[in-house]
């Protein structure tokens, strides 16, 4: 048997410095959808996520909780896993940077860089942003504040190790040039070149002595490894790189898609490939930089009291509705906005009116006119029959193109294009009139095409809204696993004889009372975490 092609996907490892909101959950939700999509296409897909548990920020937060950092992160790891379970994230490994399997190898990597001379000792004097754990030069500041988070920076000086970034700047540019798929969307590449590489890449300070909560440098333990060098190597250490058992590394490296938010683009698009070049390793095929979910009044923040936690939405509106909103709201290359109004509107229009109604109407008519048995394919009997087949096949190809570009929101729009076309098809062919006029052949054809189109929709929805897809299959009476595969939507199946739809359809989504629900979300998003 031919071995399946592998597809390694990573999310950033999260700082466990507080409860995760819908914005932080976004990266993981798209990563999970991508994994399920690649699996559907037959790839051996592997998804890594985890926690970035070292650094001054974590040390400080743990202190605020009167806890030892290790106890604090242990608790947070339990919480993070609970959330991923609630979001039904199909991850294959969850790495924590305090685990032995990581710390040992991160130390080995640091040692290796010391041995090759890529890391050298010097003194750092600069402006430091504590929450971001990053030094900046005067010129990098924006209005005198941290360019990443906008907070105050303070002058600091310490003995430190540096990574010789300058040495690799040219190689990195050459790599960008010869690998057009490396950075998605492309404008992020221009940003990196113009803002950071062209003005002159600074060597990176890769150790700290001002606090302890980190991985000690083996050969000089008063230094801890800079949290970003520590964290970035997780993508390798999780696969057993440089360890006794490195079969996962052999199998999955280089990563196929690494997904990161825009705030951490610089680390992943500049430092990360440079570390890999220095290690003599292959560079990931694609790094997807996504934009952010914002609120109408800017970023979500405790002080504004505008944070939305995934639990609020999942518990009241269900997992698939929550995921649908997240996937749809951020078009990847632009910020998206969460507002209670928009959430409720999308729920009522996209999910209830468009998708829900299509399923209900189809199930209802098959029961009414055919006692549940789906009619056989009998060619094209109505002028719209051929057109609907053609349109759906075309939309499916466009869906594939959007997914190739990792444009999740646009990919969903292609699926909704099929849904809208099907609803229009019902209106145009008016099956109730065909039934009345006893135009049996025409009615057979409409009903066959509707069921088959809905089967396409359910197959395509599986990676994003698995429960909804399952429910559509159940209601349509599609039990055979072969009818749910990627292969099965290459062509319209002619033979649906085995299919009997359910007697009474279960509504997929129940229409929300607009005012009440907007009010509900608004009231609850003000609440601070327990």
Binding site for ligand MSP (CB under 6 A): 12-15, 23-24, 26-27, 52, 231-232, 234, 260-261, 263-264, 292-293, 300
On the CB side of 344, how many CA atoms lie within 13 Å of its CA?
A: 15
| Residues 277-312 as b or e (16 or more Cβ within 10 Å = b) | bbbeeebbebbbbbbbbbbeeeebeeeeebbbbbbb
Q: Where are the alpha helices (DSSP H) in 430-494?
A: 431-436, 440-461, 466-476
Smallest gap from residue 319 Cβ to ligand MSP (A): 18
Smallest gap from residue 76 Cβ to ligand MSP (A): 11
Quote the CA–CA distance of 378 and 445 in Å, as a whole number.
6
Smallest gap from residue 366 Cβ to ligand MSP (A): 42
For ligand MSP, which is the closer residue by CB, 227 or 443? 227
Task: Give the residues across from 341 on adjacent strands.
Answer: none
For ligand MSP, which is the closer residue by CB, 55 or 375? 55
**CA–CA distances in Å: residue 395 to residues 407, 412, 428, 447:** 15, 11, 20, 20
Smallest gap from residue 292 Cβ to ligand MSP (A): 4
Quote the CA–CA distance of 131 and 93 in Å, as a whole number.
27
For ligand MSP, which is the closer residue by CB, 128 or 509? 128
Quote the CA–CA distance of 327 and 33 in Å, as a whole number.
9
**CA–CA distances in Å: residue 377 to residues 106, 368, 447:** 60, 19, 9
Smallest gap from residue 504 Cβ to ligand MSP (A): 40
- Of 294, 288, 257, the closest CA to residue 23 belongs to 294
For ligand MSP, which is the closer residue by CB, 75 or 485? 75
Smallest gap from residue 147 Cβ to ligand MSP (A): 15
For ligand MSP, which is the closer residue by CB, 12 or 318? 12
Convert 219-271 into a string of H (helix), E (strand) and C (coil). Answer: CCCCCEECHHHHHHCHHHHCCCCCCCCCHHHHHHCCCCEEEEEHHHHHHHHHH
Six-digit token pair at 133? 């754990």
Smallest gap from residue 272 Cβ to ligand MSP (A): 8
Quote the CA–CA distance of 376 and 374 in Å, as a whole number.
7
Residue 289: its H or E element: strand 286-290
For ligand MSP, which is the closer residue by CB, 27 or 453? 27
For ligand MSP, which is the closer residue by CB, 127 or 132? 132
For ligand MSP, which is the closer residue by CB, 306 or 468? 306
Whether the CB-CB separation of 175 and 283 falls below 8 Å is answered with yes
Smallest gap from residue 262 Cβ to ligand MSP (A): 6
Smallest gap from residue 484 Cβ to ligand MSP (A): 31
Task: Give the DSSP letter of residue 373.
Answer: B
Residue nearest to ligand MSP (CB): 261
For ligand MSP, which is the closer residue by CB, 49 or 395? 49
């Amino acid at each position: 048997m031919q071995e399946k092609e592998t597809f390694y996907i990573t999310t950033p490892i999260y700082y466990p410095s507080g409860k995760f909101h819908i914005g932080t959950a976004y990266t993981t939700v798209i990563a999970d959808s991508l994994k399920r999509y690649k699996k559907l296409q037959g790839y051996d897909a592997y998804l890594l996520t985890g926690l970035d548990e070292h650094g001054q920020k974590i040390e400080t937060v743990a202190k605020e909780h009167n806890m030892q950092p290790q106890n604090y992160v242990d608790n947070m790891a339990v919480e993070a896993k609970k959330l991923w379970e609630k979001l039904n994230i199909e991850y294959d490994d969850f790495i924590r940077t305090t685990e032995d399997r990581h710390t040992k190898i991160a130390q080995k990597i640091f040692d290796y860089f010391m041995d090759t001379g890529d890391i050298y000792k010097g003194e750092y004097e600069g402006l430091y942003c504590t929450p971001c754990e990053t030094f900046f030069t005067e010129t990098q500041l924006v209005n005198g504040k941290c360019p990443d988070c906008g907070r105050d920076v303070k002058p600091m000086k310490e003995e430190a190790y540096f990574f010789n970034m300058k040495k690799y700047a040219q190689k990195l540019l050459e790599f960008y040039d010869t690998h057009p798929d490396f950075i998605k969307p492309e404008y992020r590449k221009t940003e990196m070149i113009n803002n950071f590489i062209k003005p002159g890449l600074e060597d990176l300070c890769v150790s700290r002595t001002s606090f302890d909560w980190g991985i000690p440098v083996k050969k000089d333990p008063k230094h801890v490894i800079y949290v970003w060098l520590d964290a970035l190597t997780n993508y390798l250490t999780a696969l057993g790189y440089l360890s006794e058992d490195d079969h996962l590394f052999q199998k999955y490296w280089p990563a196929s898609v690494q997904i990161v938010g825009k705030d951490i683009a610089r680390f992943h698009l500049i430092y990360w490939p440079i570390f890999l070049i220095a290690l003599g390793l292959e560079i990931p095929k694609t790094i997807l930089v996504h934009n952010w979910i914002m609120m109408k009044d800017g970023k979500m923040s405790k002080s504004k009291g505008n944070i939305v936690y995934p639990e609020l939405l999942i518990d009241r509106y269900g997992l698939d509705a929550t995921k649908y909103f997240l996937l749809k709201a951020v078009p990847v290359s632009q910020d998206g906005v969460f507002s209670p109004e928009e959430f409720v509107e999308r729920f009522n229009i996209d999910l209830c009116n468009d998708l829900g109604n299509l399923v209900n109407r189809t199930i209802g008519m098959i029961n009414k006119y055919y006692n549940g048995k789906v009619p056989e394919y009998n060619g094209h009997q109505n002028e719209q029959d051929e057109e609907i087949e053609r349109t759906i096949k075309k939309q499916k190809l466009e869906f594939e193109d959007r997914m190739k570009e990792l444009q999740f929101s646009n990919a969903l729009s292609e699926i909704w294009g099929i849904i809208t076309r099907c609803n229009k098809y019902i209106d145009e062919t008016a099956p109730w009139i065909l039934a009345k006029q006893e135009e049996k052949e025409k009615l057979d054809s409409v009903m066959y095409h509707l069921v088959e189109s809905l089967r396409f929709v359910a197959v395509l929805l599986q990676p994003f809204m698995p429960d909804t897809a399952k429910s559509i299959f159940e209601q349509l009476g599609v039990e055979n696993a072969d009818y749910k595969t990627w292969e099965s939507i290459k062509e319209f199946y002619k033979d649906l004889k085995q299919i009997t739809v359910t007697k009474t359809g279960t509504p997929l989504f129940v229409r929300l009372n607009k005012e009440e629900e907007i009010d509900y979300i608004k009231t609850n998003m003000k609440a601070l975490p327990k």
